[in-house]
Amino acid sequence: MKYIDEYRDGEVAQKIAKAIQKQVTRPWTIMEVCGGQTHVIVKYGIDTLLPKEITLLHGPGCPVCVTPIELIDKAVEIAAQPDVIFCSFGDMLRVPGSVHDLFWAKSQGGDVRIVYSPLDALKLAQQHPSREVVFFAVGFETTAPANAMAVAEAHRQGIKNFSILVSHVLVPPAIEAILSSPENCVDGFLAAGHVCTIMGFEEYETIAKKYRVPMVVTGFEPVDILQGIEMCVRQLETGRAEVENQYVRSVKKTGNLPARALLQEVFEVIPRKWRGIGEIPQSGFGLREKYRAFDTEGRFGAAMAHTKTETDCISGLILQGLKKPNACPHFGEACTPEHPLGATMVSSEGACAAYWRYRGNR
């Protein structure tokens, strides 16, 4: 299949791994930001192909994983209300809040539905005008345009019983938070190709220059990731710190201009709290004043009970690249996909889920 088979070619992958080996003269630590890339690395054993001098760290690139526990609690509270149809993508339903998850709300009689698009939720609002329909808008810049479109369409049609519970976070501020940390040990980044497909990579150029760190926009197949690593290593070894684009078949420097215009119309940049990390300034989207009537939090209020910190889960350290999943004493024992302690074991993009699925409890 075009653009898949050739990027899973084992011989090509081995050649790139050998090229990396020839270039490396000292240890380097590279972080992939995207959870999808983490799963590919673990599934195909890309880290085992690399020379011992190269360490791969897994970053905060799982939007489900970084959704704050307070917002999960709020979602559960809203979903349990009798006049609400609560809509979400499937991977959010098992993410634990401080006490319960959305599956619990469903088991208690809440009308919780899995949808495949925010426009599906908007259609439900049209079909059920006497009920409040809420869509859980979670994700990075990649999923934000579809949510912006749903809100803009609800505004255009004058639909009053539709709102979104916003938990959109932005990648560049998270990268800056990692680089500015006194514990930072990252030498280079693989930037998420799907985010850059929407937003482009102009913003990354400022970060690369400020922190003297190379960044390579990278795709999601094994050869993509190995090429991204090779390009990053070449920069590190030659003392360069630039933004390069490995994912040229999908990403342009300026991104998707119509999508960016829609985001600019509907959303404004605000501070956001990241689960396990804390608040990062200007790291998320919130609805602009024009569309504030479609904000679930404003519609249902902000009072919440139960919220507590996760004392047994080290997902915050994992999301910052300070620990790997198998360094957690609970991994594979107290924490499994059936009984997760934290979101990184639940999400299809979580690092803990990747280690469990492809490497068992080792």
Element spanning 189, H or E: strand 188-192
- What's the pLDDT at 341? 84
pLDDT tens digit string along 101-149?
999 999 999 999 999 999 999 999 999 999 999 999 999 999 999 999 9
Q: Which domain holds residue 213?
A: 1-310
One domain, residues 226 and 331 = no
One domain, residues 135 and 250 = yes
pLDDT tens digit string along 232-259?
999 999 999 999 999 999 999 999 999 9
One domain, residues 152 and 44 = yes
Number of domains in the chain: 2
One domain, residues 230 and 116 = yes
Element spanning 165, H or E: strand 162-168
- What's the pLDDT at 219? 96
One domain, residues 232 and 330 = no
One domain, residues 348 and 306 = no
One domain, residues 259 and 191 = yes
Which CATH number goes with the domain that contains 135? Answer: 3.40.50.11740
One domain, residues 355 and 278 = no
- 362 versus 179: which is more confidently predicted? 179
- What's the pLDDT at 91? 87
- What's the pLDDT at 276? 80
CA–CA gap between residue 202 and residue 143 (Å, rounded)? 19
One domain, residues 339 and 284 = no
One domain, residues 334 and 188 = no
Tokens of 326: 């198998």
Question: Nearest-5° angle of CA 338, CA 343, CA 346?
Answer: 35
pLDDT tens digit string along 55-107?
999 999 888 889 999 999 999 999 999 999 999 999 899 898 989 999 999 99
pLDDT at 164 over 70: yes
Computed over every residue of the chain, the mean pLDDT equals 93
pLDDT tens digit string along 288-317?
999 999 999 999 875 454 455 556 788 888
Percent of the chain with pLDDT over 70: 96
CA–CA gap between residue 210 and residue 123 (Å, rounded)? 45
